[in-house]
Amino acid sequence: MENRILAPNLAELYKRAANRYESLPAFATRLSAFNWEPVSFRELYEKGLNLATGLIELGVEARDHVGLFGDNRFEWILADYGVQLCGAADVPRGRNVTDDELVYIINHADIRVAFVESEALQNKVLRLRPQLPQLTEIILLSPDGETKEGVRSLRDVMEIGASLRATGDRRAEERIDGIRPDDLFTLIYTSGTTGKPKGVMLTHANMMSQMKVIPIRLDCTDRVLSILPVWHIFERAFEVYTISCGVCTYYTSIRTLADDLKNVEPTFMGSAPRLWENLHERIMDRIGEAHPMRRVLFHIAYFLGKHYKDSVFYLKGNNLKLKPQPVWQRILFSPLHLLRWLIVLPWFGFFNAAVLEPIRLGAGGSLKATVSGGGALPVEIDKFFNYIGIPVLEGYGMTETSPVLAVRTEENLVVGTVGPPVYDTDIRIVDLDSSETLFPNDQLPHNGRARRGEIWVRGPQLMKGYYREPELTDQTMQDGWLRTGDLGMITFNNCLKILGRSKATIVLSSGENLEPEPIEMRLNQSPYIEYSMLVGQDQKQVGALIVPNLEEFQKNGIETDSLAGLKDNEKANEIIRNEIRKLVSVNNGFKRFEQIYRFRLLPENFEVGNELTSLYKLKRHVILEKYADTIRDIYSSEPVTVE
């Protein structure tokens, strides 16, 4: 039953959802484990109208930018309703916003009215107020917080609106009718890689196009658990989607997640790789603690699951195809896979029921699927969950594309890829050096499949641009194509496989963006270091590959005639460690997450034409590939902690 609501803009979507879903719960807030407070679609919409009218009364114009600082809670979504229903756009940012960011965002986005979630945030904004000349109204979201002077409570603003609406004020409805598809619904500032945050302008049309293409079916009987920050576009899009489908969203937190998974029994979740890593760790811990017989049963079950699912993937054509597969190979292998499937089936059937189901119950048991996004999901984790029967659908997107570009679906569940591009979205693979289109390119064998290059995308979800940064916008978007800065390829099952970053920026698993070049330049200042390259995409900490300066070490009495000999020299490693500690420290103005605790000395120098361009710049993707094992080694060993 396809019953998602489509609309020309968010406000209209909220209205239609209220008309269709009426008393169904839209959002639920946790008071205690078994006591949640639901809010119905109708109630939420009516409250939103009151808030919108209150905002209009406070002077919010159509297309104004309204600040919305805070994390997941019902009042956040209510504030969003209020902002959308008065034809404005919100500028969201989480609770952990820094002073600099707050000042920059409020001034850059011309924010005059801002919501703050907590007393702490209220105090922060009040403290910074001298630097915020335009800010006129601050509204506190938390109902139990105490408002300071010059701050209004959410309730007050809603009451203003409610009394106006009681006397026939219908300005909110007029505002809704005035919204154009090209108007912004949100302006999201992303952590800047070059220092200052960039404001991504997303329009109603952007978000509404996502409602059409999200290939996951939900209806009024589904339950969604929300754990990711709602101010991230990934979670935001899913929350709008749940409104469109009449699904109730339950707000949980890391602290209560395990309980809430059991009590809410979600059928769907948006999630990040870290969540799955944690869950995987927890499951393995529990199995490790169980007595030997249980462990044996689990390992048998997992083994069977692996063979069963691998055959299913093969027979459905969902195995990872990085090379073209001749027809004869398929004809030859298919019966073998069918045979394996048949042999494994009865055993898997039993173990699936007796051993794997209780494990799945630990994750709520009702999950139809979950979409993982916001970073690369490690392939072992990915396989683990798919083998034990929790279909993890990895997706790919970015704030600039609001966000979904590609996602695996149940029919197209190719582990190791992010699935096929969603409907109406074009993907190009472009050669990094020559800017030649590699895919789709009928001059190349197989239309350019399996060629690696930078991913360019085009579709209705592409942002309007960076707010007040036309040059940056032009750099990123050309002729309707957006350069993602990611490396990828198209597999032979027409799925997109992400291979890393083409830009130098490293995104740690904590979400911190790290620009390696300044740090590398700093490292290269050391006489002992010839070249250095930072690594750590999707890892917890940054790491470094170091090409040592051989002569310098020889001068200092380390007897070796090659870099290879230096690699495992304890003294040399000690020297480099001290150099790194000295050069990149908090005292020198580097951030905490930029500290390098892990590194490896490389056995060979970088050469022009191989690892270096003719201008002696690092060819990062080449080095990443060549030293993939070394990098894996960096992160497999125990972290070296620096006291």
Partner 1 sequence: MEFDTQLLYPIDQALLAVMIFAIMFGMGASLTKDDFRAVIKKPRGILIGFLSQFGLMPFVAFGLAVVLELPPAYAIALILIGCLPGGTTSNMFAYFARGSVALSIAMTTASTMMALLMMPILLEFYASGFTQQISEAMRAEGVESDFVIPTGNIIGSLLLVLIPVAGGMFLRYKSREWAKTAEDTAGFMAIIVILYLIGTAFIRHSGLFIETPWEIYAAAICVGLLGFLFGFWMSRLFLLPPLFQRAISLETGIQNGPIAFAIILLSFTEPIQSQMLWLAILYSTFIVITSSFITLYYRRKGKFDFEIYKNTVIHNRLFGDDYVTGYPDGFLPKRIENDPSQGASASQKR
- Do residues 541 and 597 touch, judged by C-beta distance below 8 A? yes
Does residue 288 touch partner 1 according to CB under 8 A?
Answer: no
Q: 96: Cβ–Cβ under 8 A, 6 or more apart, which residues?
A: none
Stretch in the footprint of partner 1 (CB under 8 A) among 27-35, 57-65, 203-211, 563-571: 27-35
Residue 62, burial from CB neighbour count under 10 angstroms (0-12, 13-18, 19+): middle
Q: Which is nearer to partner 1, 18 or 477 (CB)?
A: 18
Q: 484: Cβ–Cβ under 8 A, 6 or more apart, which residues?
A: 398, 401, 405, 454, 455, 456, 457
Structure tokens at 513: 């963006």
Tell me the Ramachandran region of residue 580: left when phi exceeds 0, alpha when psi lies from -120 to 50, beta otherwise.
alpha
| CA pair distance 165, 38, nearest whole angstrom | 24
Alpha helices in 141-272 (DSSP H): 154-166, 171-178, 204-213, 233-245, 257-264
- Give least dist CB 347 to partner 1, A: 7
List 349, 445, 527, 639, residue binding partner 1 (CB under 8 A): 349
Q: What is the DSSP string of 317-376?
A: T-S--SS---HHHHHHHHHHHHHHHHHHHHHHHHHIIIIIHHHHHHTTS---EEEE-SSP
Residue 610: what are its φ and ψ, rounded to 5°?
Answer: -100, -80
List 110, 143, 180, 350, residue binding partner 1 (CB under 8 A): 350
Structure tokens at 267: 């059928």
Which x/- pattern, by CB under 8 A, does the window 77-116 give for partner 1? ----------------------------------------
- Do residues 388 and 360 touch, judged by C-beta distance below 8 A? yes
Q: Which is nearer to partner 1, 26 or 89 (CB)?
A: 26
- Give least dist CB 297 to partner 1, A: 6
Distance of CA 10 to the CA centre of its chain: 22
Stretch in the footprint of partner 1 (CB under 8 A) among 47-55, 349-357, 496-504, 566-574: 349-357
- Do residues 550 and 529 touch, judged by C-beta distance below 8 A? no
Q: Cis link prior to 440 (omega < 30° from 0)? A: yes
Stretch in the footprint of partner 1 (CB under 8 A) among 34-42, 185-193, 553-561, 607-615: 34-42
Q: 70: Cβ–Cβ under 8 A, 6 or more apart, which residues?
A: 76, 94, 95, 115, 116, 117, 118, 121, 141, 231
Residue 485: C-alpha distances to residues 32, 395, 456, 498 (Å):
43, 16, 8, 11
- Give least dist CB 369 to partner 1, A: 14
Q: Which is nearer to partner 1, 171 or 360 (CB)?
A: 360
List 20, 360, 446, 503, residue binding partner 1 (CB under 8 A): 20
Does residue 297 touch partner 1 according to CB under 8 A?
Answer: yes
Does residue 353 touch partner 1 according to CB under 8 A?
Answer: yes
Residue 268: C-alpha distances to residues 6, 234, 285 (Å):
20, 14, 24
Which x/- pattern, by CB under 8 A, does the window 198-237 give for partner 1? ---------------------xxxxx--------------
Stretch in the footprint of partner 1 (CB under 8 A) among 133-141, 346-354, 522-530, 550-558: 346-354
- Give least dist CB 36 to partner 1, A: 4
Does residue 256 touch partner 1 according to CB under 8 A?
Answer: no
Does residue 640 touch partner 1 according to CB under 8 A?
Answer: no
Q: Which is nearer to partner 1, 343 or 608 (CB)?
A: 343
List 107, 147, 193, 366, residue binding partner 1 (CB under 8 A): 366
Residue 28: what are its φ and ψ, rounded to 5°?
Answer: -130, 135
- Give least dist CB 21 to partner 1, A: 6
Stretch in the footprint of partner 1 (CB under 8 A) among 99-107, 143-151, 203-211, 353-361: 353-361
Does residue 265 touch partner 1 according to CB under 8 A?
Answer: yes
- Do residues 481 and 457 touch, judged by C-beta distance below 8 A? yes
Does residue 293 touch partner 1 according to CB under 8 A?
Answer: yes
Name the E strands within 70-166. 89-93, 113-116, 137-140, 151-153
Does residue 636 touch partner 1 according to CB under 8 A?
Answer: no
Residues from 426 through 485 that contact partner 1 (CB under 8 A): none
Does residue 591 touch partner 1 according to CB under 8 A?
Answer: no
Does residue 253 touch partner 1 according to CB under 8 A?
Answer: no
- Do residues 162 and 48 touch, judged by C-beta distance below 8 A? no
- Give least dist CB 213 to partner 1, A: 24
Stretch in the footprint of partner 1 (CB under 8 A) among 29-37, 64-72, 311-319, 600-608: 29-37
- Do residues 125 and 116 touch, judged by C-beta distance below 8 A? yes
Stretch in the footprint of partner 1 (CB under 8 A) among 16-24, 102-110, 133-141, 518-526: 16-24
Does residue 343 touch partner 1 according to CB under 8 A?
Answer: no
Q: Which is nearer to partner 1, 105 or 227 (CB)?
A: 227
List 2, 291, 335, 561, residue binding partner 1 (CB under 8 A): 291
Contacts within 8 Å (CB) and 24+ apart, 102-107: 102/69, 102/128, 103/128, 103/131, 103/132, 104/189, 104/196, 104/197, 105/67, 105/189, 105/197, 105/199, 106/67, 106/132, 106/134, 106/135, 107/131, 107/132, 107/133, 107/134
- Do residues 484 and 503 touch, judged by C-beta distance below 8 A? no
Q: How many CB atoms lie within 10 A of CB 285?
A: 10
- Give least dist CB 144 to partner 1, A: 21
Give the count of alpha carbons within 13 A of 521, CB side only: 5
Does residue 22 touch partner 1 according to CB under 8 A?
Answer: yes
- Give least dist CB 23 to partner 1, A: 4
Does residue 521 touch partner 1 according to CB under 8 A?
Answer: no
Does residue 35 touch partner 1 according to CB under 8 A?
Answer: yes
* CA-atom Rg of the chain in angstroms: 27
Stretch in the footprint of partner 1 (CB under 8 A) among 44-52, 55-63, 84-92, 262-270: 262-270
Q: Which is nearer to partner 1, 244 or 476 (CB)?
A: 244
Does residue 2 touch partner 1 according to CB under 8 A?
Answer: no
Does residue 57 touch partner 1 according to CB under 8 A?
Answer: no
Q: Which residues bind partner 1 (CB under 8 A)?
A: 3, 20-25, 28, 34-38, 219-223, 246, 250, 263-265, 267, 290-291, 293-294, 297, 346-347, 349-351, 353-355, 357-358, 366
